Every structure is written in C-alpha cells, then in structure tokens.
Structure 1
C-alpha cells in the first residue's frame, strides 16, 4: 500500500499542482509542503491544513472524470466508493491522504466509540450543511451528477427517463458533469430519454443543447420535442423523471451565477403526478425528430427521393458507399442475387430508375452535391471484398451484403460523376468521427435532414424538417467539410484514391476466387 507522502505526490502530479501552488492555496510556507512530501512533517486528519487541502482538491475536481480518478484511488486503498455527495468524497480524501488515516480506519471498523471520535473529527470538514450523506439536496453540477449516478445505474437496460426543461437556457443539462453522465448511461445501458424543452428563441442556447447530445439524437436514444415557453422567468427548472421511482427537481438562476440546486424526491404520489403532468405537456409538444423503424415504406422512399431528385443543394456524409451511383444495369444485377420474383424485381428496378433519373436531372439543373466518405471504410471494403449496408437502399428490410462487383460498380460511378458533373463534389477524409460511425447524413439545405443509422440490430431512419435542427446539422457538416477541403479534396486526388481502392477490391476478390 502506498504511503501518505506518495499519495500526496501522486495527487499533485495528476492535478498538475506545484509545491508553490499548493502552498499558496493553503496559505502555508512552501517549505511545509516539501516537508509533507518527504515525510518530515505529518499531515493529520484533524489538522486545519488537511481540511484546506481537501477543500482545494475538491475545487480542482471540476469534471466527473476527476472524481472517477479519485474513486479509483480510494478503491485501491480499500475505502468505500459510494461517494454520492461532495461531503462523502471529502471524507474519503482526508482518510486517504492523512498520515493517521489508516489508523483511523482500523479504529472505525473495530470500535463503536471510535466511530464517534471519527465523526467528531470529520465534523470540522463539513462546509455544506445540506450535503451530508443522508441529504436529498445536491448543490452544484458535480454534486448533482454524483447524486444522479446511483439512481440511473440501478435501471435495467433500455429503461426510459423523461427530462423537462422549463427554458432552453438551463445550463445544468449541458454541463460537462451531468451531460457526461447521461451520455455514459446511454452508451452503457441504452438509456432512452424523452427530452421536452420550452424554447425561448435563444438560438445559441438551443445550439449548445443539440451539439451536446447530437450523437444520441442521431442514434435515436434521445427524442427531442419542443414547446414555446416564456423568455423571462424567476428561476429555470429541469425535471428528470425516472418513472415510478424518482423525480429530480433542479433549479438554477437565469444568469446561472449561483450553483444549481437539486432535490431528489422518491414520494410515490409526487413522482406519479409529475409523470402525469409530463405526459400531458408532451402531448401538445412538437417533435423535432421523426424516427422510422426498419421499413422501406412509401414515406421513407419519398424522403430519399426528395433529397436526391428535387431541386436544391444536397450534402451527404456517409460511413459507407452510396448505391445511387450505380448504373441501372449494375443495380438490377445485384437485385437478381436476392431471390426476388419477377414482379418484385420489376418494381424495385423501376423505383431505382425513377430515383436515378431524378438525381441526374437535379444535377443537370445546377444543384450542388457534396459528399464525404471515410477512407478507413473504403480500405475495409477493399480488404473484405464486400460492404454491409441497410436493406432499404435495395427496398429490403434489415441489412444486405453488397458483393465485390456491386461495390466496384458504386466506386466506378463516383469516378464517372467526378469526371462528368462539375457540380458533384466528393471529399475523402482519413476517417470520420464517432458521431458518423455506421450512419449516413443527408442534408437538403434549408429544408430537412435525414439520417440512416445502422449501429443497432436494425437500421433506423431519423428525419426532421425543423429548421433549428437542420441549421445545427448543417453547421456541423460545413465544419467537417472545411477540415478536409484542400487536403485530399481536389478532384484528381479523390479520383486517384477511388481507383486505387477499385484495384485493391478487384485483387481481393480474385484472391478469394470471386
């Protein structure tokens, strides 16, 4: 087990604190810090410097991952990791760093009278009277996140949580501590959130909210709805409802000058009534996103048609390749491998021709198309000799495996359009962000956004014609395009990359006997 001096040095290294900085923060002589580090002076749990040191470290722990690092150190040292309040975290810090911390822990576990002694010592460290281990009141983003964590952790996979924001300017929901916790729970247990927001007209506030949760909006784990709210209130409210279990009421001042305050309520009647009120409110809200399941129904086909085959600029970022650039002959050839009868083949072929001819007319009319592809994905296709994509591109459900010949037909189609259509633009980035992994964004500028997401067991299409959302996704696309423009975005460079992938794809197919 590490010595207290080693723990102090480890902590100072993690937070990047020098001897002089710590001395200044604790208002002690720098030589005293040096003596603590070399063991010449003891830093005891009941001392004034120990209390100040714990307060200083808590102030430096501005992010959830700082608390997680501290929890990891506590766990290694055998301290309890149930630190759901700032006060409990401070207790652990003192026990971990103090020269007499180990002796106090042994006494705490062996003698009831020692518990009283320890509590009397720790009373000196209490700064928030409402933040003791039994309190349901949390103050500040970090304390709120720590209070929410055990409530969300006990939920079963794919559980639902409802969040209501009385104002889109509330800062708690976009704070790094709270948003990181919610995003972590979405990734870990597929948490599903209905987010209902009263919009005030502050586009910057709504932009922050969408940007913070964009990945979960894309994956469909957050369903965003809006109602029009007041532009000025006495306080802003955030309600987080875990159905039939808890209602967490969070209040903050409009200017956010004071720490946010949260109350965790488990009274069954209150939780039930709060849930009923949420259901009544969301009934009159306007969904910002429409989420379609794995269905190639007429409305989804018409969304895709409107993107490619109606006047107007189109932007696409795709972690895949686009069958729209196949020839009708190549499309029909692949359809013939899917086991369709003659009637099914006929209508699918006719639909593709309708899409393809509409796209060509749109491009002839001067509409600018911009598409971004991932070089990492292209290299994988060349290596594998096939491409997995949503079946809706071939008017099927589920997924299809497009063979090497079909992949080659699409890549050749890209080259053809680059050579023949000056207003068709293609950018190939080394890799695209996790936000775009396993999905395709299609933005009809100033009209709508459609996202085909296929990281789950079934493909999902997300569609929105709400301009506030379209603008945010458009700004993200423009930023992504600007990052790569002028690097390998010139037409000859992109064409050379596609031709190289084509050669490797054909070689891979030949080596596998294709």
Structure 2
C-alpha cells in the first residue's frame, strides 16, 4: 500500500503541479512541502495545511476524469467510492493524504456512518445513560468533529430537538462545510430541529454567512433562530451543541482562523442537564429573528398575507406554484363550493376573498411595485398533472388543497389580466428555480417583513420575520434571482405569451378529463 507522502506525490504528478507551485498557491514554505513529500514531516488530518491542500486539489479537479482518477485511488486504499457530495469527497481525500488518515479510519471505523466507513452503521442506538468520564472525547479540527457527530446524529430519534448556542456569530465551525452539511443532512433525513441562539457581534459579514449557510433550514422551519445583542467573548469564541438528556458538544475557537478548533464531547448527565438549563435561560431573553406558524395559526397567517398584498408598499414574491389571489371572484367561489362548505362557511370565505382581492387591487392602483417569479418547470408540471397542490390556507382551511385543472387555468388567465391592466405588476418566468425555492413561496414586503410559506412537510408551515438582518439577506437573494431573467424571457409580452401557451395546454387537458 502506498504511503501518504507517495499519495501526495501522485496527486501533484497527475495535475502537473510542482512542489513550488503548490507552496506558492497555498502560501506555504516550499521546504515544508518538500518535507511532506519526503515523509520527514507528518501531514495531520486536522491541520490547517491538510485542509488547504485538500481544498486546493478539489479546485483543480474540474474534469470528470480527474474525479474518476481520485476515486480509483480511494478504492485501492479501501475508502468508499459512493460519494454524493463534495464534502464527502473531501473527507476521503483528507483520509487518503493525511499521515494519520489510516489510524483515524481504524479508530473511528466503528463509529462512522456507512457512506464513510464503507458499511452500514449499527442498528442499535447508543445508550448515553450512566456514562463515565472516560466516555467523553476531545476532537481537533472540523473534520474530526463532523466524523464524531455523524453517528451520534444518525442514531437520534426522528424529530429530535437540539439546541445550539454561539457566543459570537463569528465562530467558523458552525459554517464549516463539513459540519454544516452534516447538520443540514440530519434535518433533511431525520427531521432534526434546532433552536439556535446567537450573540450578535455587529459583524454583518459573519451573520450573513450564517444565514446563507442555513437558509434552507430557516425556510423549512427546522431552525428557530434567536439573537442576543451585546458584548461577546473576545478571548475565545464558543459553540455549544446540546442534545437534551444525551450529550453536549463544546467547540472552542480562537478569534483568528489560523488555529484548529477544539471540541469536547461530554456525556456526563449532570453536566448535560445543567448546560441545558443555562441554554433555556439564554433563549428566554433572546430576541426571536423569525416566528414559525403551523396550521393551528391559520388566522395569523391570513393576516400576514393581507399585510403583504393589501397594504401600501412594494412586494416581491418568488413562488414554486400559482397564486389563487389572481383568480376572479366567480372562479374562487366555484372552488369553495367544490369543498362542500355549508352556506355560512361558504359565505365568510367568499367575503374574505373579496376583502383580499379589493385590497390587492387598491394597492396596485396606488402605484406600488409588485414583482413575482414563477418557474416554467412547475407550470409545465401542473399541466401534466392536471392540478396543483397548495396549502389549504389559500381557501381558509387547514392541510392541503388540490386545485383542479379549471382552477389552475383560471389563475393563469388571471395573471394575464393583471399584466395587461397594471404596468407596475411585473412577472418573471424562469426556466427553473433553485432547490432553495422548491415547494415554497417567498413574500417580501420591502423594508418591512418577510413571509415564507413552506409546504413540503406533513403540514404547511409559515415563516415570518420583521428583523432587518434576516430581511436584508433574503432580499439580496431575491434580487440576484430576479437579475437572472433581465433581458431574457422576462419581458411583459413574452411572459404573457408563455402564460397563454400554458393556459391553452391546460384547457386542452380539461377536455381530456
């Protein structure tokens, strides 16, 4: 089996790099690179140099054959080759190049998830009660922290609530791609939910990175974010990850980014219980950055929507669906009757729609700018399916509603009427929108508040925030998305033609049903 320094030599040869070129690119002493290659200096997995070298090699792997070549080397070394993400690929690369990679694999092999250890993890969940102090662990570097956390998070019951406290928004570990990818994957696969309390330092760049990293989890409601304004730790920055009644992970960093972060994983139950109490006190006085409403708060959600569409001010919307607000009154009433409401229920719902519709029309007549983004891929899917699934709140009920083909056609024709009547209503149709917008709708009342209606879970969820720090990040994201269509199919005439074509195909679908 090749040694790590021989592996590093092979990589440099494959990519046509010299020792000097590598040293210059990473701002390393050329003699240090020479000692790594000769084997006279160990290249540890948790070292900043290893992180930099692995990252640099990945940036050079721009061709499929480069990635395939690296996979062949991993396979020869007994590393898994079923790698679906960049961060997993990077883990393999570090294990292959590091002087302690083989030892680390052997020590952690029994703990690693199947995608890293090359086998399925044990089915039984670990027992954390009555753990001795010897069961606690200290880890160096984000890679080791992520490797240690992976089996712990994988064994948690579905829907577990964990807590994260950051003594400063400047801590790097939380936004590290290995740690962040692990947490986001746990949210996606195991429905892990996190309460995150952050001490805000005033560094807008740091807070921006945190929000950008976890934007998808904020949208889905898996992270409840709160902030504390005031003096923060200056000697060290700390991150506390608490899994109640199980363990606590204490990460400590220096304010600079050169030193490796250190993590202590503690399972002593009295300590875990006490740190949980401390978190509860901090969370009690923290300021929530967003509110999460479930179906039980339908009235609150309707009033939020009313503020967005029916009060003065510019509105930006990006929607992976269509909006029944653009239906004419008679079309909306038809759908209500299909739901089987009695006369009283039907009457108040119809009256509510009239209130919304007239408020939106008045706002548009006042000259306020409305911008909305739709996905052509979703419109085509609606035609193929002959219906569209949406939250029931659009029709003042809980759960989900399947709007039939006639209702979808009425909405599309409604969009056309508004484009023709209101020059301050702008619609952009992109071929597709990012996964970040899949199954949800963003509504940004500029400089006022943000609402995101997310419907990919078991029940619809509404995220609402009037915090400027969060609103600013989402507004910048919307503006970048809007800019993608500038000069393309975003012109009014083209958009109307696209909608007419989709509506025509929907009407043909109606005849087939």
Band the TM-score falls in, shorter-chain normalisation = 0.7 to 0.9
Q: Tell me what 1:244 maps to.
A: 245
Q: Tell me what 1:348 maps to.
A: 349
What stretches of structure 2 of length at least 5 have no aligned partner? 24-29, 60-66, 82-90, 107-133
Contact persistence 1:314–1:445 (CA under 8 A): yes
1:308 aligns with 2:325: no
Contact persistence 2:167–2:198 (CA under 8 A): yes
Contact persistence 1:58–1:90 (CA under 8 A): no
Q: Tell me what 1:18 maps to.
A: 16
What stretches of structure 1 of length at least 5 have no aligned partner? 34-42, 97-104, 106-132
Aligned equivalents of 2:231 and 2:224: distance in 1?
22
Change (3 A) 1:227 1:298: same
SS in 1 for 2:484: helix
**Superposition pairs of residues 287-298 of structure 1, within 5 angstroms:** 287-295=288-296, 297-298=298-299
Contact persistence 1:161–1:240 (CA under 8 A): yes
Q: Tell me what 2:206 maps to.
A: 205
Contact persistence 1:23–1:29 (CA under 8 A): no
Q: How far is 1:469 from its partner? A: 1.0
TM-score scaled by structure 1? 0.80
Contact persistence 1:196–1:282 (CA under 8 A): yes
Q: Tell me what 1:141 maps to.
A: 142
**Superposition pairs of residues 297-336 of structure 1, within 5 angstroms:** 297-336=298-337
Q: Deviations over 1:151-197 (max 9, x none)?
A: 22221222121100011111111122211221122122111111001
Contact persistence 1:388–1:402 (CA under 8 A): yes
Q: Tell me what 1:125 maps to.
A: none
Change (3 A) 1:438 1:178: same
**Superposition pairs of residues 93-132 of structure 1, within 5 angstroms:** 93=101
Q: Tell me what 1:337 maps to.
A: 338
**Superposition pairs of residues 412-491 of structure 1, within 5 angstroms:** 412-491=413-492
1:60 aligns with 2:58: no
Q: Deviations over 1:285-343 (max 9, x none)?
A: 11111111113632221111111000000110000000000000110011111111111
Q: Tell me what 2:62 maps to.
A: none
Change (3 A) 1:252 1:334: same
Contact persistence 2:308–2:443 (CA under 8 A): yes
Aligned equivalents of 2:223 and 2:435: distance in 1?
17
Change (3 A) 1:14 1:373: farther
Contact persistence 1:79–1:92 (CA under 8 A): no
**Superposition pairs of residues 15-54 of structure 1, within 5 angstroms:** 17-18=15-16, 20-21=18-19, 48=39
1:157 aligns with 2:148: no
Change (3 A) 1:50 1:286: closer
Structure with higher Rg: it is: 1
Contact persistence 2:419–2:496 (CA under 8 A): yes
SS in 1 for 2:316: strand
Change (3 A) 1:58 1:424: closer
Q: Tell me what 2:365 maps to.
A: 364
Q: How far is 1:19 from its partner? A: 6.5
**Superposition pairs of residues 185-200 of structure 1, within 5 angstroms:** 185-200=186-201
Q: How far is 1:15 from its partner? A: 10
Contact persistence 2:387–2:403 (CA under 8 A): yes
Aligned equivalents of 2:235 and 2:299: distance in 1?
48
Contact persistence 2:163–2:194 (CA under 8 A): yes
Alignment length (residue pairs): 458
TM-score scaled by structure 2? 0.80
Q: Tell me what 2:125 maps to.
A: none
Q: How far is 1:148 from its partner? A: 2.1
Q: Tell me what 1:184 maps to.
A: 185
Q: How far is 1:253 from its partner? A: 1.6
Name the Cα RMSD after superposition.
3.7
Aligned equivalents of 2:240 and 2:33: distance in 1?
47
Change (3 A) 1:276 1:503: same
Q: How far is 1:134 from its partner? A: 8.8
SS in 1 for 2:436: helix
